[in-house]
Amino acid sequence: MDKYLIKPDKKIKLSEWNTRETSLWEKNKEDAKSELIKINEEVEKLQELLFAEKKHKLLIVLQAMDTGGKDGVIRSVFEGVNPSGVRVASFKVPTQIELEHDYLWRIHQQTPAKGEIVIFNRSHYEDVLVVRVHNLVEKEIWSARYDQINAFEKILFEEGTTIIKFFLHISKDEQKERLQERIDIPEKRWKFSNGDLKERTLWDDYQKAYEDVLQKTSTNYAPWYLIPSDRNWYRDYLIGTILLEKLKSLKMKYPTPEEGIEKIKVI
């Protein structure tokens, strides 16, 4: 999976990354879906172990252009996990109270506790993406945030949080198809907003903003993975595999039970 790992300070040109490639899976789509079911089962067991041990904390960051598939990843990759140990935090337009604090204030409150997996559906990176593209603050302010975010994530890492960040990379043509699907299918129309079309006109600006994010904030302690995401099944397979490898690397074990518990008979 290192093929998709962004090394620190690596220069990124998103147009050079194939959003439809499936090079790490040689079988067909249905086989990949079957493999994901097996991955889900292993992730479920390891997540239960993480929750029981209450030693490690896992933060997963999902970022993407509109229709990139963040919700789909959450549904597919985390199917079957214990909801008491997994939480999704979504970051939308800041409230007035949140605006009265620094931009990381609302983020820090949602970071995982020991034994917990937290998935950020969008994240603190909105403050160097949307904020930048829409000129909500001066360049001097948002350009300083890359180092601030790196420092923030380093604190989390040093305090025991494992961080994995995924950029779900789709093509502009794929986004067009997915937006049209939201219009054409009645059950999906609730997902569509005219504002989505306005954001689409800023595609090139967002691509540049994401290139800078990937180059400036992929670190050894909080790496970015650039996931080709036009094909949902391949996207989910990659993320599930990376997640499983990371959980295994934590070398977790169940807590030591009370002495003599094996002799107890329930009556």
Task: Assess contact for 39 and 244: CB atoms under 8 A.
Answer: yes
What's the confidence (pLDDT) of residue 82? 85
How many angstroms from the chain centroid is the CA of residue 6? 14
How many angstroms from the chain centroid is the CA of residue 86? 13
What's the confidence (pLDDT) of residue 226? 98
Nearest partner of 114 among 160, 49, 45, judged by Cα: 160
Report the distance separating Cα 115 and Cα 48, nearest Å: 9
E strands in 108-185 = 117-121, 161-169
- For 101-158, the pLDDT digits (tens) are 999 999 999 999 999 999 999 999 999 999 999 999 999 999 999 999 999 999 999 9
pTM of the model: 0.95
State phi, psi for 255 to the nearest 5 degrees.
-60, 150
83 pLDDT above the threshold of 90: no
Higher pLDDT, 95 or 262: 95
- For 155-173, the pLDDT digits (tens) are 999 999 999 999 999 999 9
Residue 140 three-state SS: helix
Nearest partner of 209 among 171, 167, 238, 239, judged by Cα: 167
pLDDT band of residue 1 (cuts 50, 70, 90) is confident
258 pLDDT above the threshold of 90: no
What's the mean per-residue pLDDT of the chain?
Answer: 96
Instruction: Give residue limits of the domains in the chain.
Output: 2-254
Neighbours of 40 (CB within 10 A): 19
Q: Cβ contacts of residue 146 below 8 Å, gap of 6+? A: 128, 212, 213, 216, 217
Report the distance separating Cα 118 and Cα 129, nearest Å: 21
Q: Cβ contacts of residue 197 below 8 Å, gap of 6+? A: 179
Report the distance separating Cα 87 and Cα 107, nearest Å: 14
Report the distance separating Cα 127 and Cα 111, nearest Å: 17
List the structure tokens of 159: 């305090």
Q: Cβ contacts of residue 148 below 8 Å, gap of 6+? A: 104
Residue 226 three-state SS: strand
Task: Give the residue carrying structure tokens 């107890």.
Answer: 264
Task: Assess contact for 63 and 165: CB atoms under 8 A.
Answer: yes
Q: What is the DSSP letter of 33?
A: H
Report the distance separating Cα 41 and Cα 258, nearest Å: 28
Q: Of the CATH numbers 3.40.50.80, 3.40.50.300, 1.20.1440.230, 3.90.1150.10, which one belongs to the domain with range 2-254? A: 3.40.50.300
Q: For the residues 22-37, what does the mean pLDDT come to?
A: 94
What's the confidence (pLDDT) of residue 21? 96
Nearest partner of 166 among 70, 91, 57, judged by Cα: 70
